[in-house]
Structure 1
Amino acid sequence: MSDDLTPTYTEKGKAFERDMDYIGDRVLAGERSSDPHDAEYGGRDDVQVWPVQPGRYRLVAAPACPWANRSIIVRELLGLTEVISLGKPGPTHDKRSWTFDRDPGGRDPVLGIERLQEAYLNRFPDYPKGITVPAIVEVETKQVVTNDFPWITHDLFFEWREHHRPDAPDLWPEDLREEMEQVMKRVFTEVNNGVYRCGFAGSQEAYDAAYERLWAAMDWLEERLTDRRYLMGEAITEADVRLFTTLVRFDPVYHGHFKCNRNKLTEMPALWGYARDLFQTPGFGETVDFEQIKAHYYVVHTDINPSGIIPQGPELESWRTAHGRERL
């Protein structure tokens, strides 16, 4: 994944394509998924089922990474902080792995490892792919369980329900499920991944096409959020979590670093108000570390920013200003 390790930049003339092949193991409450819509899991031979068990696993998720940030937010919203511990790698890394350089002694205080790579190699000694976050790691064996980020947050909701806080939000409402799946698909392909398609384009033509796709989706979101508080209406869902982690990085990183510069997020009234509304909601803003976000992108992506200079702006205090979305 392009912001989990130093990216393999797109071949010249080619459009950026994200590798979505992850360790597909699942942590389930039983032998089968608790989600009746879960058609992806059909008892495949390449998927191992791990049991839900408080204290058994550690979520390793770097606050700098949007895909990892998603899992941190869902863990907070559902009240799983005492059930699944959280390890936070630092924002910068080398070609080998994310590291725990901000922890005492440079080691994760629970797993005792210096690099997340160690957890991958403990299970797969010849693991051939990038070492990505978020990852679920079994504490006792220090072995990676899964790094399949879309399923990690899905299963935190469906499989760990017995351990949710009493007032946990319904992130996957049954009556909105079909439409929500369509919205999340467009958000992922056109926005979450769209900014990377711009940033890592291998030619002018690939960039131009990616830019047009991104802004078509941003305009669609601006219109959608003009008369509804959240993506699916009156309540926060998984779709909002998935969009938020891109929006919160938009002006500090994607606008300039990834050349997504038609306009700033702050210049889109509905999206800017929506993003602030979520930021000020418990479980969202406190998971955001702008300093780590900027350090990650501007230092790690040396092909895009060879100087490694981290910009001081933009001004970020405005994230706490009144958003006025309550009227919706």
Structure 2
Amino acid sequence: MISKATSVNKKNSLKYDYIFFIKDYFSLVKPKVMTLVVFTAFVGIFVAPVTIHPWIAFISIFCIALGSGAAGAFNMWYETDLDLKMIRTRKRVLPSAKIKKNEALGIAIFFSFISIYVMALTVSYYAAAFLAFSIFFYVVIYTIWLKPRTKYNIVIGGAAGAFPPAIGWLSVTGTLDTLPFLMFLIIFMWTPPHFWALSLYCLKDYKSAGFPMLPVVSGIKKTKEQIVIYSILMFLVTLLPFFLGYFGFVYLIISILLGLYFIFHSLKVYFDNKPENKSIKMFLYSIIYLYILFLGMIIDHLKLLN
């Protein structure tokens, strides 16, 4: 009887070990970031003015997701020692030594190669080249060059996260147009206030790691000012797809309501004496904001089709 119970316990233990093993390796590709990347890329595909082949759309999304995961793994590999200094990141799989650094690098290289190769073979060389550039931009331009060197790292580096809808559009149309550029521009303008809100909340962490984030270098007051300015600019940019005729009133109403509430959050951060209390709420809202805004594009596009 005891032997049987021990056997069952061992099986359960192996089962949980296997689950955690999968979970650890999956976390290496930053799944939360990947989800947003995949969704915005999907929207770029969905609103494209062409007949979309399901297989091409699926492969495009798969390759973009894999490329995003590769970039995330590269980032975690490169910043392992710095992540160890930050409370927010020290429990990640590389700082906590759950996965070896050389394994992470191998996974990042493999995923990069597969994503670019499959995109080139199945979809188009142009889309594959754009995907390769986006991985290069995030890893080399942002992670290695900008992030440890300048307080404007996220302003320029934000382009890396803004490429997916344009890549998605390019993968099904073969060309780029004004709308994918506007989608890129929306995410590009969204990124600074999104990350500056997080950097206010994690200010001590960024100081400990030595990252020259805006609040570390220029102070909290300057950062709060920039959050408000970029929030207003982003709001104005989100109106352009309507005024240029790409979306209708459904999108306009959604973008106005979401944008005004985004600005409201930025003002709450600005006027709060302890901005870390409000900044984390703004950071979390900004994620929901982008999902709903891009969902609004899908809803409006479906309405226009009818």
TM-score greater than 0.5 by the shorter chain: no
Who wins on radius of gyration, i.e. which is larger? 2
- Relative to the length of structure 2, the TM-score reads 0.35
Which structure has greater helix proportion? 2
Which structure has greater strand proportion? 1
- Relative to the length of structure 1, the TM-score reads 0.33
Which fold has the larger relative contact order, with Cα–Cα distance below 8 Å and residues 6 or more apart in sequence?
A: 1
